[in-house]
Structure 1
């Protein structure tokens, strides 16, 4: 099943969920209004969800003059992956992390936290970038981005119904105030389940393809281990404010401050690292075939400590 078909199935399921919430709020009339709202939301998400997610995370666009080293490495990795050069964004967060977004490879973007560039080695950053390029090549980014937008809208609709539903005639709701309380509790859980609908196997596949792009599975394995450790130490304030987009990051950005393991959209980091070590063994301890391009200006990151964007 292709990425666009999966997206259509997901949007249909979310539309049904919107209708169910509307029915709980105000019966048949509420269901019709909710379905109309869902239709508009789905159309908006299809065309604008990538920009919405970047805005939610306060991502700032950067060019080759802002981050020459990052741009050089991303360009070479994109060429090796057979992809157009994605737009690059930076998020001013101390927690190292990254994600990709966009409806298609021609409109894709990769966003990296400043913590990734400040705390990780060049080899590890290359592994992370390659992982995100793998998501783009596998066309995971559309469904991941749309899900981030509509999952947040589910909780918003539930809260709206809880706040304003009590002001309506109780006869309009077939379940009464009990439904409002249950909806307030269950709707965010339903949104989390929707995010889990994005198979965890997508992360394993992106790890594998990313490792093949760099030819260095151990670089990505090292990055995942360090990213996971930092996620438990450093809070990602942008992700905490907009948790609906958490599944898009390479490592769960909420694991440092929230109890999200029950609804985690990411597989175990230890399992991902083990799979990469197994791949490295089959490829001959890293596989070779890729090395960072010589810096056009400014020199290398010096073990990730140099600020590469200015």
Structure 2
């Protein structure tokens, strides 16, 4: 096996640019059709502006609040702070804020709009489960997400999906409550709903494609940074193996935030690969083990 994994991962940049370009083109077509069919520019601008501003300013705060993540100081958890600080220093990144989630689910995530506003969060379940090297691999994975600005990219990409969904709902309820009583208006509303639905589906699938590749890229970045791919592989194996031991109620609470987690907080039986935000954990582990073999040569 060659050492090509050591090189800079330009694949994620190419894929993100391609996906966002497709989404932008789709969004232009979407807006053009809506305007042509009579949905005024003012409602479109208002809908777009509200959701863009909301996602931009409040997305990270909502994630922290919803997951019950609490920011911890260095005095409260010196070991965790020291480990994150060392990894950030090697990456040339400002040290992110650190949060802990009081949950038995072993997991971690990163959020924030930029390098200086980023937060790395870990659960108490993760801290109790992993050893030092495994935890280092997980933290390096999350810091790679921050370095690649993955959270910002996913937020921007999800705008298209969110706006399409809201316009679809607006059109659907508008047709129900009298806007579509006229035959011509009714036909226009059906076209708007259909175009919105197609836009939402395509956006949904593209976002998942980006999310899946960024997980591979973050695994690879963590392996490059720590030089311990096997430790991250062991961490992924432990996390996925212990996920089913968590109560169903606790898992349901966190399911809506799976795009942020290093491993989806759902049981293996309910994981549908087509709609998953993450690639299969078995494939991720195998890639990391292949990297470990490459380093030994």
Task: Output the TM-score relative to the length of structure 1.
Answer: 0.73
Q: 1:110 aligns with which of 110, 114, 120?
A: 120
Q: Do the aligned partners of 2:168 and 2:196 also contact (CA within 8 Å) in 1?
A: yes
**Could you say which residue in structure 1 is the equivalent of 2:217?**
205
Structure with more helix by fraction: 2
Identify which of structures 1 and 2 has the higher relative contact order when contacts are C-alpha pairs closer than 8 Å and 6+ apart.
1
Q: Do the aligned partners of 1:86 and 1:110 also contact (CA within 8 Å) in 2?
A: yes
Of residues 70-79 and 194-203 in structure 1, the stretch that sits farther from structure 2 once superposed is: 194-203
* Residue 254 (structure 2) pairs with residue 239 (structure 1): yes
Distance in 1 between residues matched to 2:266 and 2:159, nearest whole Å: 17
Q: 1:275 aligns with which of 287, 290, 294?
A: 287
1:141-175: CA deviation from partner (whole Å, max 9, x where unpaired): 21124446764565455445544541132133425
Q: 1:61 aligns with which of 59, 71, 74?
A: 71
- Aligned partner of residue 75 in structure 2, secondary structure: coil
Q: CA deviation at 1:186?
A: 6.7
Distance in 1 between residues matched to 2:156 and 2:92, nearest whole Å: 24
* Residue 187 (structure 2) pairs with residue 174 (structure 1): yes
- Aligned partner of residue 112 in structure 1, secondary structure: strand
Query: Mapping of 1:38-187 within 5 angstroms?
Result: 38-147=48-157, 151=161, 154-155=164-165, 158-159=168-169, 161-163=171-173, 165-170=175-180, 171=182, 172-174=185-187
Distance in 2 between residues matched to 1:16 and 1:73, nearest whole Å: 45
Structure 2, unmatched stretches of 5+, are 1-12
* Residue 266 (structure 2) pairs with residue 254 (structure 1): yes
Distance in 2 between residues matched to 1:120 and 1:8, nearest whole Å: 36
Q: CA deviation at 1:5?
A: 6.0
- Aligned partner of residue 263 in structure 2, secondary structure: coil
Task: Output the TM-score relative to the length of structure 2.
Answer: 0.76
**Aligned-residue RMSD, C-alpha:** 3.6
Distance change in 2, residues 1:163/1:68 (3 Å): farther
Distance change in 2, residues 1:184/1:16 (3 Å): closer
**Could you say which residue in structure 1 is the equivalent of 2:227?**
215
